[in-house]
Structure 1
Amino acid sequence: MKKLVAFLIITVTFVGLSSFKAIKAKPVGFSFYKGTYDNMIREAKKQRKPIILDFWAAWCAPCQKLDKETFSDKELGNYLSQNFIVYKVDIDTFDGMEIVDRFAVDVFPTMIVFDPKNGQIGKFKGFYPPGYLQKELEKIQAKHNLYPVSTQDGLAINR
């Protein structure tokens, strides 16, 4: 009987942890920048890429939906990794609150498109499906002539 109870406890724990791990799975196709905000700005300048600041909170259901449905989309992930540095801003941290104030964010989730040279160039409030978000980001790229730097014969050129 004790073995059966121990087996059930281990099984329930394993299933629970597996389910939690599936919810916290990383998006496919790209990864969020992991360093500090200041280092991310330096990296964006170095790579000559605009930034997407994703303002989110663990308690925010639309934020979770954005992670699960939009940022996990492989096609969008590939597009983002080629064209942007994406940084998650946890609004429940002191650093996050400071960035929220800096960009006057009042709705969650909010995504700010930020060019280190020109400042804020786009803002998206709420949930966006992956295809629609990509089209809107492409419009911002075209409007501000922000295309990834590629190399051809060793020379850096803008596409």
Structure 2
Amino acid sequence: MKIFKKLVFILAVSAASLMAVHAEAGDKNDEKGADKGIVFVPGSWAQILKKAKAENKIIFFDAYTTWCGPCKMLQKNVFTRPDVADVFNKNFINVKVDMEKGEGPMLAERYPLEGYPTLFFIDGDGHVVKEIIGYQNPETLIKVGKAVAKKNGALL
């Protein structure tokens, strides 16, 4: 019986060790995976406009809400794709704003919304260059992003 208890103890310790190693490896993979998606820049709207103007870039502005299903799908299935991130991280200042919190309500007045998500392309002076409403598949979002970047003289 003592051998059985020791064996169970050894198996339990081994399993716990393996789970800890697996969890640590998963954390590292998550960190590596984070750089594969669109990088959204934090900051106030005034700071974002200033940054866009200084870098001569267009702002890609994801106007979303936490309860919006298509918004969640964009975040999960489109913004995380390396091919989408490649276009958007090189050519735009990327910003996400919950339109019901913080500066969101003020921005909703400045940039009226017809639905969620609304994806704006805005110049450094705060003028809308392009607006698209609703979920966009990766291919369409890349096509729109490249067209906006090209029109505004960005290097793809």
Q: Please, what TM-score do these two structures have when normalized by structure 1?
A: 0.72
Greater strand fraction, Structure 1 or Structure 2: 1
Deviations 1:27-82 (A, max 9, x none): 72431011111111111111111001100111111000000011001011011111
Deviations 1:96-137 (A, max 9, x none): 011011011120000010112471110010001112111112
* Stretches (4+) displaced over 6 A: none
Counterpart of 1:146 in structure 2: which amino acid? G
Provide the residue aligned with 1:145 in structure 2: 152
CA–CA separation in structure 2 for the residues paired with 1:100 and 1:52: 15
Question: Runs of 5+ in structure 1 lacking a partner?
Answer: 1-17, 149-158
Counterpart of 1:70 in structure 2: which amino acid? V
Q: How does 1:23-102 map to 2 (within 5 A)?
A: 26=34, 28-102=36-110
Q: Please, what TM-score do these two structures have when normalized by structure 2?
A: 0.73
CA–CA separation in structure 1 for the residues paired with 2:112 and 2:34: 28
SS in 2 for 1:122: strand
Counterpart of 1:137 in structure 2: which amino acid? G
Superposition CA RMSD, Å: 2.4
Question: Runs of 5+ in structure 2 lacking a partner?
Answer: 1-25
| Identity across the alignment (%) | 25
After superposing the two structures, state which structure 1 stretch, 117-126 or 61-70, moved more.
117-126
